[in-house]
Structure 1
Amino acid sequence: MKTLLLFFALTLINLTTNAQKSDKATITVTVPNVSGSDGHVLFSLYDETTFMTPSPIQRRKSEITNGIAKITFTNVPAGVYGITCIHDRNDNKRMDFDVNGMPTESYGVSNNNMSYGPPVWSDAKFEISTEELAIEIRL
């Protein structure tokens, strides 16, 4: 009887432990060079089909402390993603442009490839499996 109880207890512990393991990843993003403390930094996580659309996979908003903004995307399935961020100085939750179409707020993308024009998927994409990933994006 003791053996049977021990077996069930160990089985229950094993099931609980395996249930806590996740096949999802965590991505921590840091922006170390935010100029000014006004507003927030807005982050968007995209896959290839949603890149630069109004419907990212996840969104986050970060306070700015000593010129640094930091967020974490959780429960991210393994795959290929890209991240954009903007310093939303006036907290209107969107990128602002001047009359000639140039952005008036700082922005950045994963891999820090800042060429002229809007961000490009091939420059911003990165792959993640189930580990934790730390990314730094410069504005």
Structure 2
Amino acid sequence: MKALTLIIALVLSVTFSNAQETKNGKSITVIIENIKNNNGTIMLSLHNETTFMKGRGIQTVESKIVDGKVKVTFNNVEAGTYAIMALHDENENKRMDFQDTGMPKESYGVSNNAMSFGPPTYSKAKFKVSTEDLEMDIML
């Protein structure tokens, strides 16, 4: 009986602590509507200045493509400055593929649609999360 009571107490404490975690941060919903085909997946990653273009982000989300569109949400994002990177991983190998010339083979985009000749920069892609949930469009 003591074991059952302990298990119930643990389950309730985990449930309530998870419920509280979800309410701490804001959500960022990203919509991409110009995907050239439904092959593969769209991979999105939320970055701060330290992680941008240097590896895995703070949060990552992957979505199947339906009719050339995806809509994904990053949840529980604390206030701060971030950037989002998106990749159309057509062959589902979990990485960006490049041509021999160094140009990307797969479509990609970043927040603020800050595309230029050369790699994207954090300074152009960054945005602030503060008191409101955000919704943004990213073009590939």
Structure 1 length as normaliser, TM-score?
0.83
SS of residue matched to 2:23: coil
Report runs of 4+ in structure 1 exceeding 3 Å deviation. Answer: none
Give the drift of 1:55.
2.4
CA RMSD in angstroms comes to 1.4
Shift of 1:51: 0.7
Structure 1, residues 24-73: CA drift from partner, whole Å, max 9, x if none?
11000011100100000000100011111212100000110111011100
Where do 5+ consecutive residues of structure 2 fail to align? 1-19
1:28 aligns with 2:44: no
- From the superposition, tell whether residues 87 and 21 of structure 1 become closer, same or farther in structure 2 (CA, over 3 Å): closer
**Identity rate, percent:** 50
Aligned to 2:62: 61
Residue 20 of structure 1 and its aligned partner are, at CA, apart by 8.6
SS at 1:22's partner residue? Answer: helix
**Which aligned pairs between 1:1-139 and structure 2 lie closer than 5 A?**
22-139=23-140
**What is the deviation of 1:113?**
1.4
Contact 1:77 1:130 in 2 (8 A): no
2 CA distance for matches of 1:43 and 1:101?
21
In 2, the alpha carbon distance for the partners of 1:55 and 1:31 equals: 20
CA separation of 1:21/1:114 partners in 2, compared to 1, >3 Å: closer, same or farther? closer
**2:22–2:76: 8 Å Cα contact kept in structure 1?**
no
Match of 2:15 in 1: none
Q: Distance in 2 between matches of 1:36 and 1:131?
A: 33
Instruction: Name structure 1 gaps, 5 residues minimum.
Output: 1-18
- For 1:28, give the aligned amino acid: T
